[in-house]
């Protein structure tokens, strides 16, 4: 038997990945790193089991401990997010968004969302989940200078087209969306306000960003693995009056078994955010602002300098004059700096392969313990590669040495545990 047909082959690849990632600066805004307690839970026997239905009313037997954990997860989520109702069954943020489309719309209804270029997510685009639902998608008016919804024009459009749903939030979010203002108008015409918090759920849990439910959002959808440092999954928070609609759309509408090991891991993450969330979220925002300012001072075209660049974990940089987002991201990866190309306002679908921007996020590096003072060094590495055109392989060596100081997970119950250690079972 050759090595390529045994588990050892995959194990060696995975170990290479772990080793490489430990020597990288990860600035992917949609990623984070889980705690040792969460990773241990993901390897539990829960990963083998099924539990369709609600706790203590399952369609399967053998779930008494699963039920105990799931009830705790729901109770913790209600507390952390101050929500009347929580559904933790979606297995992704995309699926959480789809549950709202199925709960609140019928085919041929109109919904209002940010365009892809302005930060909307594919799950509610006409070529994504909304198209599968056969919905008409209109775009929210967007102020490119302010990187936020154009409130006055948006309110007029809501009055005019009376959409069934207005989606706020999305994949690019530098500043809090105007939930209050939109809700006042939406309520008058029967429009549901949905806030996609996938990127900023951890900042909401950590009290550093608006709680959309307090500002009038009917439903909050989210993934659970970006600024909220949990396992990959989804979540829906809503007012009690919408609980039945949401629950039926999720199960049996979209989900059968909801990945029980992720439920256990989510429970631990909720405990972590209840205990450490405020401190963690504060540092995320501080780091994002510091990274943006340092990049700007070094000559990069960082968006929104007149507004302090960002109020979230994200930083957007226009690199069109430097070769475009694809080329810059590829160059940085050679230096062990990981980020993603990103469309910016003004781009179009013709530029999707090499858009104007890169999107940076600091959630993972913050969880490794980096502070504002470290953002200057991160920005300098980026400058050396992109502006100074130094050999990225040489910079990769410097990045590796730099990251050796940040090798453990912070803001969790375990101390001094390796962040990227591969766990051997055999």
Residues 6+ apart with CB under 8 A from 241: none
Give pLDDT, residue 3: 66
48 vs 290: CA distance, rounded Å = 44
Give pLDDT, residue 37: 98
Each residue's pLDDT tens digit, 251-260: 999 999 999 9
Residues 6+ apart with CB under 8 A from 301: 317, 318, 319, 321
For the chain, residues with pLDDT lower than 50 are none
Each residue's pLDDT tens digit, 261-303: 999 999 999 999 999 999 999 999 999 999 999 999 999 999 9
Residues 6+ apart with CB under 8 A from 39: 265, 423
Question: Residue 363: which of 265, 268, 269 has the closest Cα?
Answer: 269
Q: Which residues pair with 341 in a beta bridge?
A: 358
Query: Tokens standing for 211?
Result: 């709680």
Domain range list for the chain:
39-270
325 vs 353: CA distance, rounded Å = 9
57 vs 69: CA distance, rounded Å = 14
The 8 Å CB, 24+ separation contacts for 1-5 are none
- CATH tag, 39-270: 3.40.640.10
């Amino acid at each position: 038997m050759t090595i390529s047909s045994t588990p050892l082959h995959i194990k060696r690849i995975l170990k290479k990945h772990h080793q490489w990632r430990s020597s990288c600066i990860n600035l992917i805004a949609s990623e984070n790193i889980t705690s040792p307690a969460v990773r241990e839970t993901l390897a539990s026997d829960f990963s083998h089991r099924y539990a369709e239905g609600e706790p203590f009313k399952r369609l399967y037997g053998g779930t008494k401990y699963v039920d105990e954990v799931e009830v705790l997860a729901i109770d913790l989520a209600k507390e952390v997010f101050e929500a009347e109702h929580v559904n933790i069954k979606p297995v992704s943020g995309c699926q959480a968004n789809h549950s709202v489309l199925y709960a609140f719309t019928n085919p041929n209804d109109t919904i209002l969302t940010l365009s892809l270029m302005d930060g909307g997510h594919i799950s509610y685009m006409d070529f994504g989940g909304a198209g599968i639902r056969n919905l008409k998608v209109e775009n929210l008016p967007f102020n490119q200078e302010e990187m936020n919804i154009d409130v006055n024009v948006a309110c007029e459009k809501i009055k005019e087209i009376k959409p069934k749903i207005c989606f706020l939030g999305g994949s690019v979010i530098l500043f809090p969306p105007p939930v209050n203002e939109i809700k006042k108008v939406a309520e008058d015409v029967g429009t549901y306000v949905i806030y996609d918090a996938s990127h900023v759920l951890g900042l909401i849990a950590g009290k550093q960003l608006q709680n959309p439910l307090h500002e009038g959002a009917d439903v909050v959808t989210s993934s659970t693995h970006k600024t909220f440092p949990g396992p990959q999954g989804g979540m829906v928070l809503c007012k009690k009056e919408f609980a039945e609609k949401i629950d039926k759309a999720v199960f049996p509408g979209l989900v059968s078994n909801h990945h029980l090991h992720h439920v256990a891991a989510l429970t631990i993450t909720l405990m972590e955010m209840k205990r450490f969330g405020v401190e963690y979220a504060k540092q995320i925002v501080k780091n994002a602002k510091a990274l943006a300012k340092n990049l700007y001072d070094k000559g990069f075209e960082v968006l929104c300098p007149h507004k302090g660049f960002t109020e979230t974990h994200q930083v957007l940089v226009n690199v069109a004059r430097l070769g475009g987002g694809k080329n810059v991201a590829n160059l940085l990866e050679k230096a062990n700096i990981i980020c993603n190309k990103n469309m910016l306002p003004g781009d179009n679908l013709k530029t999707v392969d090499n858009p104007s921007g890169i999107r940076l996020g600091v959630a993972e590096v913050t969880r490794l313990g980096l502070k504002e003072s470290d953002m200057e060094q991160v920005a300098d590495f980026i400058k050396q590669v992109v502006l100074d055109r130094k050999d990225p392989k040489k910079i990769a060596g410097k990045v590796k040495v730099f990251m050796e100081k940040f090798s453990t997970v912070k803001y969790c119950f375990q101390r001094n545990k390796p962040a990227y250690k591969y766990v051997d079972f055999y």
